[in-house]
Structure 1
Amino acid sequence: MIARPQLNEYPVFASTYVNMVPEGADVMQLLTDSLTETYELFSTLPDEKALFAYAEGKWTVKEVLGHIIDTERVFAFRAFCFSREQITLPGFDQDTYVNNTDYNSRSLQDLAEEFKVTRLSNLYVFRNFTEEQINRNGTASGNYLTVRALIYMTAGHVLHHLQILKERYL
């Protein structure tokens, strides 16, 4: 089981995601379970909900899923890089990423499938990190991060957005 990261292993903003992972939870099992939950949620939503945004200027359901996929890739890429070498990586502006992609023209099923294969790929990488690699670190967006923290952030990020979807969209 991957130990919960300490507060000094990630920036303050990331505590929103890390804290979504319940104390004592097996983060790898949570990543596996949320894969199923997320895929089932999005692949069974009716098409008429796919372009819904709960307020002016907010993302549609499709854009939320696109953002989840983008962030999943970025966090996993950072974890992969840091597991191999201590390096500094650039920032990630979520709005720029969503605004420079037309998620709304894609089917929700296609996006759900993309999330599924992205998470499966990340699970292979995460499962094969050694204890030494999990404790390695680097800098991204000017913030110090450990591989362990990025794994927890990946798990918590999707849970954060599933909660928002259930509260405001569905």
Structure 2
Amino acid sequence: MISRPKSDEYSPFAAGYVGLVPDENVIEKLEQLKESSYQLFSSLTEQQGAYAYAPGKWTVKQALGHMIDTERTFAYRAMVFSRNHIELPGFDQDVYVANTDLSNISIKDLAEEFKATRLSNIYMIKGFSDDQLLRDGIASSSRFTVRAFVYMLAGHELHHLNIFRDRYGIG
């Protein structure tokens, strides 16, 4: 079982994500979230996918696309840090979303893409040794351990599921 990272293993910003993850097996939580998020997003209509709760806010599809981008980014950082102490640049989520064209991608395909990406990441995480989980690197000018990114994957998803429930009225 992967133990919860200490607060000095991630940036203060990431504390909000790590703090959302319950004290249970994080890999089992990632697997459970993969399935429940897939069920949620694959059940939506295209009209629901195009909904934004306020002007200038992301649509459901854009928010799910952001979740996929972040899933890949956090997993990439975990993989790189597990093999090499290095510094990686940050990424601007708003620039990524603004430069993503989801017009030809259905909400159901995005749900499939999220599920597939998460499954791939779970296999990668299961392959990390205890030593690799404690390795670290710099991302967005802050130190992170590999296990911090594992928890951040779950916490970021939980964060957005809360937003979907509270602001979009889904979930």
Please state which band the TM-score falls in when normalised by the shorter chain.
over 0.9
Structure 1 position 105, deviation (Å):
3.5
Alpha-carbon distance, 1:7 to partner: 0.5
Matched, 1:156 2:160: no
Q: How much does 1:48 deviate?
A: 1.6
Match of 2:138 in 1: 139
Give the aligned partner of residue 13 of structure 1: 13
1:62, 1:104 within 8 Å by CA — same for their partners in 2? Answer: no
CA contact (8 A) 1:51 1:104 kept: no
> For the residues of structure 2 that align with 1:87 and 1:122, how far apart are their CA atoms?
20
Q: Distance in 1 between matches of 2:128 and 2:103?
A: 35
The alignment covers a number of residue pairs equal to 169
Scaled by the length of structure 2, the TM-score of the pair is 0.97
Offset, 1:106: 1.5
Partner of 1:33: 32
The 3-state SS of whatever aligns with 1:103 is: coil
Q: Which residue of 2 aligns with 1:74?
A: 73
Deviations 1:58-82 (A, max 9, x none): 0000001000000000000000000
Once superposed, which parts of structure 1, at least 4 consecutive aligned residues long, lie more than 3 Å away? none
How far apart in 2 are the matches of 1:136 and 1:148? 8
Whether 2:88 is the aligned partner of 1:89: answer yes
In 2, the alpha carbon distance for the partners of 1:131 and 1:76 equals 17
Q: How far apart are 1:156 and its partner, in Å?
A: 0.5
TM-superposed deviation, 1:50 = 0.8
Task: Give me the CA root mean square deviation.
Answer: 0.8
Equivalent residue, structure 1, for 2:109: 110
List runs of 5+ in structure 2 lacking aligned partners.
none
How high is the TM-score relative to the length of structure 1? 0.97
2:125 corresponds to 1:126: yes
Distance 2:85 2:144 in 1: 10
Aligned to 1:51: 50
Report if the CA contact (8 A) 1:5-1:149 is conserved.
Answer: yes
> Structure 1: how far apart are the matches of 2:58 and 2:41?
15
Task: Tell me the alpha carbon deviations over residues 134-166 of structure 1, each in whole angstroms, 9 at most, x when there is no partner.
Answer: 000000111100001000001100011011001
Q: What secondary structure does 1:153 align onto?
A: helix
1 CA distance for matches of 2:101 and 2:117? 18
* Stretches of structure 1 lacking an aligned partner (at least 5 in a row): none
Q: CA deviation at 1:47?
A: 2.1
Identity %: 54
Q: Which moved more, 1:96-105 or 1:35-44?
A: 96-105
CA shift in 2, pair 1:76/1:125, >3 Å: same
Letter of the 2:54 partner, please give it.
A
Between the aligned partners of 1:10 and 1:80, the Cα distance in structure 2 is 16
